[in-house]
């Protein structure tokens, strides 16, 4: 990457395997994910008629699916790439929490889920009919102070066994101590990647890398009319947050990495966009695994962009495998 704010583009025709010589090291990567874990439920059915009670479709449910969501989806994405993954989160003492724990064991994620009796495990229920989402129903309550304090103590212990820390903020209250977590991790020399939420980005001050999407950045900085203006706004925010880097995911425009004095733009690679839900989870998981495996940040960003292009072609919260990412047969 050149200095002076110039953009370095990936060389034409470069494959993921040629860009990153660290794929074999993914299995040695140790990633700690902390944040708002949740259970994603999908009810699939056929829409045959409109209800006589109200002008809404009647869906005859034919099958159900459950997947790990939120921070748990970040963890399962990292595990799918071959990394050794630990997850720290809070769930309720309910059926949904038990189901989430079982799913994570199946996904080879070492999960430490604090059970809070006063919490209802966050569940996102989506009803699907005619190949589209008809409605989403959310169940959630914020965790208690006691559960969060216990979680912070465990964070210090689990931090010792990690190469990279990913903080996945879904605004559900599970990262109330995020500023202390960032400080603890940086003191030990561990890179901290943050997937942000909300308008108060001051909570993420000092993180190694923050990954807002286009809408989140626009909400903070206001709109921009040119790439030069975007560069100025993003760099100003990065400096204000004392972050080493800011990666803005821009949907069909790809993603842009802003570092001190430099900018890297990577065009989108998606051939077909089916579902963008969970794409941000895949991006930050791929970044974390690549960095923990020894890749440079620019290389990790290119890999994450490739992974995003793959996962948006799948339905719901999904994962990308090394075979898909590196084109192995």
Q: Quote the longest CA-to-CA distance of the chain.
A: 65
In sequence order, the 6+-apart residues with CB closer than 8 A to the CB of 275 are 312, 314, 315, 316, 318
Cβ pair 93, 115 in contact under 8 A: yes
- The answer to whether the Cα torsion of 232, 238, 244, 249 is positive or negative is negative
Q: Where are any strands of DSSP class E within 56-95?
A: 57-70, 84-92
Structure tokens that stand for 243 in this block: 């972050």
Where in the sequence numbering do the catalytic residues fall? Answer: 281
Structure tokens that stand for 268 in this block: 């989108």
- Vertex 33: Cα angle to 204 and 314 (nearest 5): 105
Structure tokens that stand for 253 in this block: 């425009």
The Cα 316–Cα 124 span in angstroms is 11
């Amino acid at each position: 990457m050149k200095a002076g704010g110039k953009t370095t583009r990936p060389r034409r025709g470069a494959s993921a395997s040629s860009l990153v010589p660290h794929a074999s090291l993914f299995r040695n990567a140790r990633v700690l994910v902390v944040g708002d874990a949740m259970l994603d439920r999908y009810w699939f059915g056929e829409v045959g008629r409109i209800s006589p009670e109200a002008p809404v479709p009647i869906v005859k449910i034919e099958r159900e699916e459950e997947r790990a969501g939120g921070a748990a989806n970040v963890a399962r994405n990292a595990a799918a790439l071959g990394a050794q993954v630990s997850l720290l989160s809070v769930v309720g003492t309910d059926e949904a929490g038990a189901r989430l724990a079982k799913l994570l064991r199946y996904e080879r994620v070492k999960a430490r889920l604090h059970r809070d009796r006063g919490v209802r495990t966050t569940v996102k229920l989506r009803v699907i009919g005619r190949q589209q989402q008809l409605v989403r129903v959310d169940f959630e309550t914020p965790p208690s102070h006691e559960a969060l304090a216990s979680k912070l103590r465990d964070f210090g212990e689990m931090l010792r066994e990690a190469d990279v820390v990913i903080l996945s903020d879904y605004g559900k209250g599970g990262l109330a101590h995020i500023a202390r977590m960032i400080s603890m991790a940086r003191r030990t020399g561990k890179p901290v990647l943050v997937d942000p939420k909300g308008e108060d980005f001051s909570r993420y001050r000092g993180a190694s890398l923050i990954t807002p999407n286009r809408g989140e950045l626009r909400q903070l900085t206001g709109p921009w009319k040119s790439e030069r203006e975007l560069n100025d706004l993003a760099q100003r925010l990065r400096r204000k947050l004392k972050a080493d880097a800011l990666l803005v995911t821009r949907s069909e425009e790809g993603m842009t990495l802003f570092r001190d004095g430099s900018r890297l733009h990577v065009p989108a690679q998606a051939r077909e966009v089916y579902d963008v839900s969970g794409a941000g989870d895949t991006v930050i998981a791929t970044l974390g695994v690549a960095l923990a495996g020894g890749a440079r940040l620019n290389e990790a960003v290119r890999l994450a962009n490739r992974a995003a292009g793959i996962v948006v072609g799948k339905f719901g919260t999904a994962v990308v495998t090394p075979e898909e990412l590196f084109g192995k047969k």
